[in-house]
Amino acid sequence: MKLRKGDEVEVLSGKDRAKRGVIMRVLTKDDKVIVEGVNVATRHQRQTKPRVKGGRIDKDMPVHASAVALVCPKDGAVRVGYEFKADGTKVRVCKRCGREL
């Protein structure tokens, strides 16, 4: 999983294709991420009990990690690789321009 919480990503497929958003949660086990404003499901909740709020509830549903791409400030949606810096730390880089992401 190359994606992290707080990353800006672009959606590559599905109904939200080309939409951009920030990752709110990473579901490592399922290889999925929850992106703000992406794959929003609207639930129509009827007011059954007085204390349960009725109306429409928007919920961001998880999307598969392969359906989104990290956004490079220069190139837009890109493929990501890894590089090791001189001190041994592993960093993510844009495969197109080499910028650290």
| 101/25 Cα distance (integer angstroms) | 18
User: E strands within the chain?
Assistant: 8-11, 20-27, 32-35, 40-45, 55-60, 63-64, 68-72, 76-77, 80-84, 90-94
Q: How far is the CB of 15 from Zn ion (least distance, A)?
A: 27
Per CB under 5 A, does 100 bind Zn ion?
no
Mark 23-62 with x for binding to Zn ion (rule: CB under 5 A) and - for no binding: ----------------------------------------
**Binder of Zn ion out of 31, 75, 83, 100 (CB under 5 A):** 75
Q: How far apart are the first and last CA of the chain?
A: 14
Per CB under 5 A, does 91 bind Zn ion?
no
For Zn ion, the binding residues (CB under 5 A) are 72, 74-75, 94, 96-97, 99
